[in-house]
Structure 1
Amino acid sequence: MDALDWIWSQLRHLADLVGLQLLAAYIGRLLYHVGEVQQGRRRWWSRHLVWELIAAVGIALIADGVASWAGLVEGEVRLAVVVGLAYLGPRGVQDIVLRIVAARTGGRA
């Protein structure tokens, strides 16, 4: 295998990984959206679905960074972190970060 083939295989692997992370994040946001629909706070077909897609992109990047920081290189656990953080959404992730900071600084967030 020459260098060009190796680079191409690495780029394909990276594209698959990024696509999978985005799909996992969107699944997490869809889980949240379904809960909102079931509780009557949203209609199923609404512009919220577009906003959830945009949020999923940002959350996928954040969750991927968190998973890397935690040492999760690949696999189901990494995807579970992405889906879980995507389900929590931006506010949920912010709440978790503030609680961690408050616990480490003695209650000052």
Structure 2
Amino acid sequence: MLSDIWAAARQACDAIGLACLLAYVGRLLWHVGEVQRGRRRFFSTHLLWELLAAIGIGLVADGMATHLGLVGAPRTAAIVAIAYLGPRGLEDLVGRLLAARKGGV
């Protein structure tokens, strides 16, 4: 009984950790783009903030992937893509989807 609970908790922590790691990859891709455009240096406090943002985004992206029933490679791709978009990009995307659903633009 206790070993089953421990195994389930460990599996959940592994999934959350993987989602956060994948989200950091997505945010790192975005950060590198900003560095290439000359908007920031690679090693800066922005990189630390991207790590913190990736944790939150990773949890949200993991929840979205779970809700959509994604597993395997599609789940991985969704988490990285959502993290790449970031909070503002995701807000814009959801807003456009909702506007299209309501018959807007």
Q: What TM-score do you get using the length of structure 1 for normalisation?
A: 0.90
User: Aligned pairs, how many?
Assistant: 105
Q: What TM-score do you get using the length of structure 2 for normalisation?
A: 0.93
Return the alpha-carbon distance in structure 2 between the equivalents of residues 62 and 99 of structure 1: 19
Return the alpha-carbon distance in structure 2 between the equivalents of residues 10 and 90 of structure 1: 30
Bigger radius of gyration = 1
Return the alpha-carbon distance in structure 1 between the equivalents of residues 73 and 21 of structure 2: 13
Find the counterpart in structure 1 of residue 86 from structure 2. 89
Return the alpha-carbon distance in structure 2 between the equivalents of residues 27 and 67 of structure 1: 17
Amino acid across the alignment from 1:15: C
| Structure 2 spans left out of the alignment, 5+ residues | none
Q: Percent identity?
A: 57
Cα distance, 1:36 vs. partner? 0.7
Cα distance, 1:92 vs. partner? 1.0
| Structure 1 spans left out of the alignment, 5+ residues | none
Partner SS state of residue 54, structure 1 = helix
Task: Give the number of the structure with larger relative contact order, counting CA–CA contacts within 8 Å between residues 6 or more apart.
Answer: 2
Runs of 4+ with >6 A deviation: none
Return the alpha-carbon distance in structure 2 between the equivalents of residues 20 and 106 of structure 1: 37
Q: Which of 37, 40, 57 does residue 39 from structure 1 map onto?
A: 37
Return the alpha-carbon distance in structure 1 between the equivalents of residues 103 and 73 of structure 2: 34
1:19-52: CA deviation from partner (whole Å, max 9, x where unpaired): 1011000010000001111111110111101111
RMSD (CA atoms) = 1.2
